[in-house]
Amino acid sequence: MNVRFFLILSLLLASCSSLPEIRPSADAGSACPSPFVVQKTRFIHTIEAAAAGETRSVMIGVTVADPASRTLSCALMSPEGIVFFEASRTPSGTNISRALPPFDAAEVARGMLDDIELIFLKPTEEINRAGVGDSGRTVCRRRLRDGGWLDVGKDRDGRIRIQRYSEGGRLRRSVALAAGVNPYAAIELQASEWTGYSLSMTLIEAETVPDEIRSGK
Amino acid sequence: MRAKAAGPLSVLLLVLLMALPAAGADDFDRLRRDASRISSLSADFVQKKSMKILSKPLVSTGKFFYAAPDSIRWEYVKPIRSIVISEKGTSKRYIASGGKMIEDKTGGVQAMKIVLDEVAGWMKGKFSANPSFAASVREGPETVIVLTPTGKNTAGMIEKIEITVSRKDAVVKTVRIVEGAAAETRIDFLHTAVNPALPPGTFQDIP
């Protein structure tokens, strides 16, 4: 009975979702935040993964993001250094070189690469609306080519938020970046799927990558 | 899966530190005999992870403790604090979260227990009895024991493991876990003490 009730409630809530309103603002367009990487950069983060509010796993993640070629390379490993996922994505496709369960499931690997792209690479779509959202923060909205919407906004405290919505306006992903000089110093990602999860990432090290690495050193 | 993947590493390290002091001779019976004289062990370690995606090795540091017959504490201090404790047939893993250590309750912990139980046999010098690895000894300036996976599952994760033992004092110096052509983990052991008095609570649950 309770399960059925919550299922119906969830469906109702989902069906009633709508994009947050953006109020026009004269200077919002020039204030659109863009935290995304501007040159090829390697990041090493600790990643704390949680589901249902409970920490499930702690990992080390390595990401190389290249905005010029829009390529991503990533590796996930245990604290003991055993790599259980390694993949790269280019505009022409994805190459998974190592995937141990549960990362051998195609949807898990794709979802993870989608999350990484969301965090590090600037969307290719143009901003088609900018203004002030709830709580008075600046919000810049893009219509995504693959469907849905993407908001990038800046809170009053300086934190940048990246939020991806479904076509119907349901929040699918919410990323909060650290305020300050390096927004990737601390990253909080909340996935609102049927089975939601969250990632809390803390920067260990970041460095720009010389171009020669691109050739596959 | 993460914890399961970590299992072989812990296992191997244990074997190394415990059973290898006698590895100077290609004699596994002697390994078993010599392993039996070790009642406890402690060491610091520096782990260097090399991969194609990294410009330089990712360095982790920590501490290792063992007490006969089957108690193990494998503790990473940096960059992530993580502790695996195995004692009396039970293995637990603790991870740092929100400023405190919490128990990792994923299914992988149970998988790791299976591995650690198997390792317990190795710690008693039973190298040749383990069907997962083929062991061989290479003599030179230092003694190198090479463990090669025989099973399909392990072979997919680990290509081989090389354990370097000092011929001078029979102490394990280095472990190389080769995962493939472009990835390996090297662990250097420092300040190894044989049969030290370990602090009380070394193998107890983390509060």
Q: Which residues of A touch B5 (CB under 8 A)?
A: 78, 80, 82, 84, 100
Kindly indicate the confidence band of residue B114, based on its pLDDT and cuts at 50, 70 and 90: low
Q: At B195, give phi and psi (nearest 5°).
A: 55, 45
Which range (A55-69, A101-115, B107-121) has the least confidence? B107-121
- Domain B2-194 in CATH 2.50.20.10? The answer is yes
**pLDDT score of A3 more than 80:** no
* Distance set, CA A188 to CA A47, A128, A160, B36, B74 (Å): 10, 26, 11, 49, 29
Give the tokens for residue B117.
């139980």
| pLDDT in the model for residue B107 | 59
Which residue matches tokens 């690469």?
Answer: A113
Q: Averaged over A89-112, what is the pLDDT?
A: 89
Q: Averaged over B79-87, what is the pLDDT?
A: 88
| pLDDT in the model for residue B4 | 39
Amino acid letter for position A106: A
Question: Is residue A207 classed as helix, strand or coil in its secondary structure?
Answer: strand
Highest mean pLDDT among A19-28, A73-82, A207-216, B140-149: A73-82
DSSP secondary structure letter of residue A20: P
Q: At A206, give phi and psi (nearest 5°).
A: -140, 140
* Distance set, CA B108 to CA B7, B54, B102, B123, B137 (Å): 9, 26, 15, 22, 32
Query: Is the peptide bond prior to A102 cis by the omega test (within 30 degrees of 0)?
Result: yes
| pLDDT in the model for residue A145 | 93
State the nearest Cα–Cα gap between B185 and chain A, in angstroms.
7
Q: Averaged over A178-188, what is the pLDDT?
A: 93
A121 in reach of chain B (CB within 8 A): no
Strands in B71-78's sheet, in edge-to-edge order, are B100-103, B90-97, B82-87, B71-78, B58-67, B40-50, B183-194, B172-180, B160-165, B143-149, B133-138
| pLDDT in the model for residue B206 | 78
Residue length, chain A?
Answer: 217
Q: Averaged over B133-138, what is the pLDDT?
A: 81
CA dist., res. A194 & res. A172, Å (int): 10
Residue ranges covered by each domain of chain B: 2-194
Which range (A145-149, B17-21, B30-34, B90-94) has the least confidence? B17-21
Question: Is residue B8 classed as helix, strand or coil in its secondary structure?
Answer: helix
Determine whether the interchain pair B58/A44 forms a contact, defined as Cβ–Cβ distance below 8 Å: yes
ipTM rounded to 2 decimals: 0.80
Give the tokens for residue B41.
């062990």
- In the CATH hierarchy, which top-level class contains the domain A31-215? mainly beta
CA dist., res. B155 & res. B174, Å (int): 21
Q: Which residues of A touch B58 (CB under 8 A)?
A: 44, 60, 62, 81
Percent of chain B with pLDDT over 70: 65
Locate the DSSP E strands across B33-154: 40-50, 58-67, 71-78, 82-87, 90-97, 100-103, 133-138, 143-149
Q: Contact B24/B143 with Cβ under 8 angstroms?
A: yes
Mean pLDDT value across chain A: 86
Q: Which residues of A touch B3 (CB under 8 A)?
A: 78
